[in-house]
Amino acid sequence: MSSSAPPRLWDISPPVHDTAPVFPGDTPYRQRWAATLGPGCPVNVSEITLSPHVGAHADAPLHYDPEGAAIGELDLAPFLGPCRVIHAIDCGPLVEWRHIAHAVDDALPARVLVRTYTRMPVERWDPQLAGYAPETIEALADRGVRLVGIDTASIDPADSKRLDSHQVIRRRGLRVLENLVLDAVPEGDYELIALPLRLTQADASPVRAVLRELLLSSSKQPLA
């Protein structure tokens, strides 16, 4: 039996509960007990109501494209595999290329997660959230990136009506993760595990997003 320690895990999902922040006007998390343990019932069973955009979540093309696929139709491959966490803390309203260029090289994995907060506000809605500049997503797509993630509630500014970065995602066929908690994650390369539920009609899905320490050397690590 090997005595080596198991790979370290970082849980990058915010807690989900009744007061978890949501986009203004979106459906908050609510839970009620449909059945409770007692003399006539052997189990607790709950019923939940929520927007699929509560907590860490994956957007589906249906979210920003009337002809787009629902989340349950998507290939899971982009949501699982090597990724790079890049810090662009306090970058302002948009993550521009100059904020992440220091961490981009020829070995860039196909998944990129950007940290913008010193501390992600898991307890409140942030109307000043940072999004991606559309040019940044274009440049990442040009380098083979298949999924982008961010520690805010949207890859576009909260008051955007055109959703320019979402439209780049649509046009370039990328996938997106939002509302990640990257506070404790150093810059570097990891394995991302963030699988959406197979919701056949939904525009998004909650994910339990996790980063796992890479044990292979970077020269042996697949980048797909």
d(CA 162, CA 110): 26
99 is catalytic: no
CB-count burial class (<10 Å; 0-12, 13-18, 19+) for 183: middle
Query: Of the listed 53, 63, 87, 166, which one is catalytic?
Result: 63
CA 132 to chain centre: 13
Q: How many CB atoms lie within 10 A of CB 186?
A: 10
Give the Cα separation of 32 and 215 in Å (integer): 42
Q: Are strands 111-115 and 147-150 parallel, antiparallel or unpaired?
A: parallel
Contact 59, 74 (CB under 8 A): no
12 closest CA partner among 192, 189, 146, 176: 192
Place of tokens 């959406």: 196
Residues labelled as active-site residues:
63
